Each structure stands twice: as structure tokens, then as C-alpha cells.
Structure 1
Amino acid sequence: MDQTNHIKKLRNEEDFSLNEISKVTGHDFRTVKKYADGDVLPKEKKVDKRGMMYTQGFNNQTYGEIIDALLFEDSKEKKKDRRTRKAIFELLEAEYQYTGSYRLVCQYIADTKQEAKENNVYERLEHPPGEAQLDFGNYRVCENGKLKDIKLLVLVPPYSNRAFAAALPRENTECFLEGLKRIFEMMESVPKTIRIDNLAAAVVKPRGKGKETVFTEAFERFAAHYRFEPIACNPYSGHEKGAVENKVGYIRYNFFDCIPDFVSYLVFEKWLNAQLEEDSHRNHYHEHLLISELWEEDRAHMRSLSDTPYPVFRYEEYKTNKYGEIRLDNASIHIPKVGRNRRLTVQLYWDSFRCLSPSGELLYEADRPYISESRPVDWLYVFQTYRQKPRALDHSKYKKLLPSKIKSYVLETTLVERKRRIDQLLELLKEEDLLRIEENFEFLLLNNFESEPTEASLSLTLYDSLSPKAVS
């Protein structure tokens, strides 16, 4: 551009002739004439792919287009059923009169796959009002001093980002449909469409090979009753329901940072949805409106709730073993007054079951085994953490799980003494359970680990009189 500008300046401002400019600059006369009197305009670059794969082919298709079609067809198959590069090369030679090399085919396939990988971007989806997304999340709660794993079925309409949740013990069909029914009752409406992943409780066969998703019969009946359209995501495509994926994490980080107390599923569910309702009185992450305001607009586009609640249960046939037991939810349950090798019809609800005789007589009913499941805290590991950082005990999420006497014993003292008492508990925890230490508190701790004379007079009644609220 410097040379071009110099030539134009000599021609237009200095009134040089073309011959004079050629002599001064040393450029050829034709070059000087081109840049002195002609227009220098930017040109669009047009890159034409060259090579046999783009210029030659068979029946109005280039070899590149033929290979692309073969790769697209193979992408719908399992990897073991896809054609190898050698098979594609042999097919091109046999049926498409290909005369190029095998190496050229391999290079084209590698370039095509790399280009597809680099251009694999997600499409920004639009979410009109009246739609919803659904997903399960795993969470921990505190029940009677023990940890309990529960499931939350979370529903989010992406337009408003309002969240609703149902607390459940499992992800089976009964829990899934019962949770969804309770969510509809909370919303007092039903979304037009609900996007889910391919969970076993709702999907028999995911979308693939040109065929649509096959839903379970129970879920299809449920959807027909409440008049919503279920839509399953593509396999391994969780981003298609990103709103609810983010909300599952949001609930965990904002309401489960301290392990919440748990009494029952319905009580806990009521508490959590009250928190979510309060949380809706904040600005939407994208719109300049409150989530609660957008929710009202969202709900106006949904369907009305059916007057008749859907009864969620299913029947299964069981046979008692030689001990008169059936195997349900990975637990052996004795059925009284039935006998061995008897066939029973079991009516399964999300939280209970009923055993019926072949004539329909009620023989036995009880809670499902997983309702009371919990898991103990690994107190040895927890107290090893407290030993490294004794002050962490004051704000620990496990503090509420500590039995009252032991909690008072390690908290109601100086930091130096706390370290000594934590060491005592660590020694005991190698052999004893924490609850047994609590039951035998005076014998195991006050008598066996006395270190100062003044502590010899401490009585168990002193620890019994300490209120857990004083150190909570």
C-alpha cells in the first residue's frame, strides 16, 4: 500500500506522467498505469476446495459428498457396526469407480471428523411460556442423628425459572409419577410439554436409528390423564434441559450447605418448597423482572389441573420362599400367616405396599423397606478432620448430628482441652461406635480419661443438664 499510495500521489498531486513515474519508481509502465489511474478496491477471497475429493465423483456427486453420506449413515450405528476406512475405500473402488489412493480417503475422513469436532457448538434454545424441564437430584439430610440419602424430583419452567420439588426415596416408576403428581398440585397447573432425560422410570427405549423415544405404558397413561406432551432428550445430551440441570445444583448449594433436618418426606418437601417460593422473589437471571412475576405469565400458558388425581400404584406377582418371605427393594420381608411357596399379588405405592391373595383379600401391608433406610456418619474420619482444625467444630455441618453429651463434652471447653478430648474420642472410635460411647459416656470418657483432679468430681448429671440448644 505504501508503493501504491506513492504512485497515486506522484500522479495526482505532483502531475507526473506515467513514464516519469516509471523512471522514478523503477516499476514497469503497465504496473504504474494500473495503480496510478485505476481503482484499488478490496476483493473478496473465494477459496475453492481443490483436489480429487472435491472435483471428481460419480453420478453428479463428488467423492467427498459420497464419503460424507457414508459417515452420516454410520454415525447412527454402534461403533462396532460402523464401516472401517478400508471398507469405505473398497466400496468406493467397487461401486463408484474411484481411482485415487487409500491414503487420500483416510486423510479426507480424518479432516472431516476434525472439522465436525471443531464446529460442534450448542444451539441457543428459545423457551416459550408453558414448557417445563424435569430431573432428579441426589441430596443428604439428617434423620435422628444419621445421614439419609433422598431424591428430589425438580421441575423448572425455563421461561420463568421458577422451581418446584418433590422429596422421594427412589427413582422408580411409583416415586417418579407420585412426585410429578404432587408437583402439579403445587403448581395448580400442568405444563404443555415436559422435557426429561432417558430415566428408566419413564423411557423404555431412547431415540435413535431414525426412531422416536418409546415411553413406558404407565408414563404414557399418566401423561394422557394430565394432557401434557413428554419429550425425551437425545442420549448423552443433558444440555438440552440445561435450566433444570442448573436448578438442581442451585438447590444443593443454597439449601443443603448445612445438612437440613428431616422428619418425613412430605414435611421436608413442604419446607423446601416454601424456601423456593421465597427465593422466587428475586430478579430473573436474564430478564429484568422478578421470577414470581414471570411465573404468573408462565402459568397462564399452561393447562388446567385435572379434577381427578391420578392414582399412582402398580401390581406385581411375587412368590414366598421356604421361610414365607418375599424379596422387595433388596430386602427380605416376612409375610405372616401366608406360608411358603405361595403366590401373592403385591400392590406397590411409592411409600408402602399391600399383599393380596389371589381372591383380592388383604393379607399384609407395611412401609416399603427403603423408607427407613439411613447410613451412619463415618465419625472416625470426621473427628480426624476436627483434630487437624479444632475450631472447625464450631461451624461444622456435622455438629447437629453429634449426640448431646459428646457435643457438650468437646464444645464446652478451651481450645487446648478440646484437642485432648478429640484425641480421646479418636482412640475410642477405633473400637466403639459413637452412639455406644454416648450410652456409656461416664464410664468410657469421664472415668477412663481423667487427666486433671478437678475433673474427677464431674458427674454425669452435669452433662445431662446441658441443653443441646446451648451449643447449637
Structure 2
Amino acid sequence: MLVVETTAKIRRAHFVQGKPIKAICRDLGVSRKVVRKVIRSGATSFEYDRSVQPMPKIGPFKAVLDDLLAANDAKPSRERLTLIRVFEELRCRGYEGGYDAVRRYAGAWKQERVASVAAAFVPLSFAPGEAYQFDWSHEIVLINGTTTTVKVAHVRLCHSRMLFVRAYPRETQEMVFDAHDRAFAFFKGTCTRGIYDNMRTAVDTIFVGKERAYNRRFLQMCGHYLVDPVACTPASGWEKGQVENQVGLVRERFFTPRVRVKSLAELNDWLTDQCVAHAKAHRHPEFCERTVWEAFEAERPSLVPYAGRFDGFHAVPASVSKTCLVRFDNNRYSVMASAVGRPAEVRAYADRIELRQDGRVVGTHPRCFGRDQTVYDPWHYVPVLARKPGALRNGAPFKDWVLPVALERIRRKLAGSNDGDRQMVSILTAVLSDGLVAVEAACAEALREGVHSADIVLNILARRRAHAAPITILTPDALRLRHAPVADCARYDSLRRAL
């Protein structure tokens, strides 16, 4: 190939120094054909482009290699094979050539494919407070030493490019509600329009065009925050390109290298700090004189004011077993003993489970995301102990039950009595009517006096119990005395004379 330096020397020798072609050929050691080509073309560089690449080894395997490359390209990015793996697969099918030929062919195949599917797009512009975009991603972290895949909710304000991310164990509807509430509380407001993909937690049915049948609870959330939801065209991620790019940015900057935390709460606190730090450190792509954080501060007055927390739960009916347990999401949660025998409603939130029956709460627990776990509240079983006090020793809800200090001391002292369980059950039952604080104070007073029987504790409770205020009887005005009576003892004397 004729290098640029030789071309420049030929041009200078001919046009500047005026040398003949024969002298140039002798001095530079090139042929007359080359010198004439440089002088006549006027070009300053020449490149050789091979029009046909001979591939004697790979020729019979073109169809097989095309199928392998097409199947590999159709897989998600994380599951695609490297070209070395594709080469090894081709070798297993009889190919005897080298890797370099496969690499060159794959490069040409990809370039041709990209050129055939490349499309042009129109850049979008959003007014302050006009729209936000929402999406999910899956990331891998180490939580308390265990490799865990978490679902990360992404919210992005389209005008200021301010981002908010939060990790969850699932992508269920209650997680969607919680992510929106925390994002809007972080932004101190929301936009008039929300842009989503067609996730099942929001869209029930996809019609022609932009028409959608949204989920009823999702519409309730949008109505609470005054948001107009808009769903993208299926398989058209560019319609919410900002949040799609945010997924890659967050994965590269926040989750690489792999994050190590002790709990999901610690991870979310760290992610919030990272969002603020990133916004303060990076320039806005359109308003280069301002950072993303400064653009966000300028956009904040245009946001719809934060409407407060939406009661974002996912409700399902459930039955209550005879052991006062309700099964939900492969785990069991206890309820009050009075709820046995009638159906209940499970309200699943992102961080807790609320159990209701006939409009009243019969149980509240932190949410578990494992399998086959049982979450007890021992106080739910105290009314049952009144009939079966012996269950206090071996009942599953009472294992490792941490009681207040005075109650625990009374329990240990009563453990040696023949009827200690029954006495302790009497004290625990009083908690349901008098409250834990009052019973704890009564137990502490009894211990200071050197006694610990249930009768004394209950007697102290009765003495401390506030008496009801006397009822005030109001006398109507018609029955009030207008004139005070005058005492006249002479009237009694007149009665005696009559007799």
C-alpha cells in the first residue's frame, strides 16, 4: 500500500522541486506507474479496499454461521455468547478454519445488519413539570454476604433529567405504588404526565394505537397524584429513551463493581445519596451552564404539589385457620383469635402486611419475602391462653418472646409455682384491657414490695385504675327555685294543737 509519507514526497519532488518522473522513481524506489498515479490524481492518500474476501474454509459453513449469529443476536445482552464461543460451536459442527476468519465474517455480518435496521429519530423536548418516565431493571448485589437479584425502580424527570432509583425484592403492584410515592416525596411534587411501558401491574389490555385499559388500582394512584398515564407502543423503548438510558447509567455507575450492603434498607439509603451526588456533579445535556441538580431546583416550582402518601396496597381475600394464621405469598401471618372462622382480607404493602376483617385491623406484620415462614404476634394468642394456660410453655408463638423487664421477672418467678402458668396468663390477659404500660408498672411495684403473685398485681391495677368521673345532672330552668324557703318552726306547733 502507498503510504501517506511517500505520496507527500512524490508531490513535493514534482510540484516544488520540478524533478522529472525518472528521477523521482530513482530517488524513492517506486515505479513510474505509481508516480504518474500520484501526480495525475491529485490525491494525498491512497487506500486499498479488497472487494472480494476469499474464504475457502468458511464458505461451506456460511449458512450455519449465519444461523448461529442470528440466534445469538436475538438473545438478551446478558445471555449472548462471545465470538470465541460461537467459533467453538462452529468447530463442533465440522469447521476446520481459524478464528480470525470467523471474526471478520461476524464483523461484516453485524455491520450489514446494523445498516439494514438503522433508523432515525426525532429528539424530544419537555417543558418543566410536563412529564416523567418510569421503568424497572434487574441488578445483582451482595446483601449480608448473599448474592441477590433486586428489582430497581427508575423514575426520571424529563425536563431536568433528575433521577430517582429504589430497589425492591419484587416488581409487584404494591412495589410500583411505593416507588412512585417515595419518588414524588423525594421530588416534592410530580408531573402532569407519566410515561410507562405496558407493564402488567399498570395495563390490563392493549388496544390499537395509544388506547389502553389500565388497571383500576393503578388509575386510583394516578388520580391521587393528578397524573395522566401514557403507555408506549409495544417494543418501542425509544419513546421513553431517557429512563432507558438511565438504566444503563445506573448499572454502570452505581452497581459496578458489585455493591455490598447489610440490608435492603441500607442499599436504598445509599442509592438516594448516589442520585443526589450524581445530579450535583454532572452537567445538564441541554443547559450546559447548569448541573442536573440546579435544573431540578429550577423545575421544582413547576411540579404538581405532592399530594401525600397513596394507600398503595394489593388486596386479596384469605381464610383464617384454627391456629389463627392467614396464608399469603407462601408465608403465614398470625391474626387475633377473634378472627378465626371468618374470611379476612390481606392488604399487602411494599414493607408490611395488614390483615383486616369487617373493616377492622386484626393483624399487622413486617412483610417476609422468603418461603414457608411463619410470623407470629404472641399477643394475638393471649385470649386462647385463658382456656389453655399450659400452652404458654410450649406454644410456638411464645418461643423467644421478649417481654418487658418487670413482666419477664414475674414470669420467671411464677415458673416454679404449680399454677404459675395460670397466674401469668391472668397478668397477660390484663394487658388487653389495661395496656402494657399499666401492667408493666403494676408488676414493677409488686416486685419492689417483694411479691409476685397475679392477685397482687391485679389488685394494684384495680387501685391504679382511674375511677369514672361522676355524672353531672343538669336541672332545667323550669324546675329551679325562684325564692329560697323560710324556716318556720311555729307551723309544727300549730299541727300539734290540732291533734
Question: Comparing both chains, which one has the higher relative contact order based on Cα–Cα distances under 8 Å and sequence gaps of 6 or more?
Answer: 1
Say which one has the larger Rg.
2
TM-score normalized with structure 1 length:
0.48
TM-score normalized with structure 2 length:
0.46
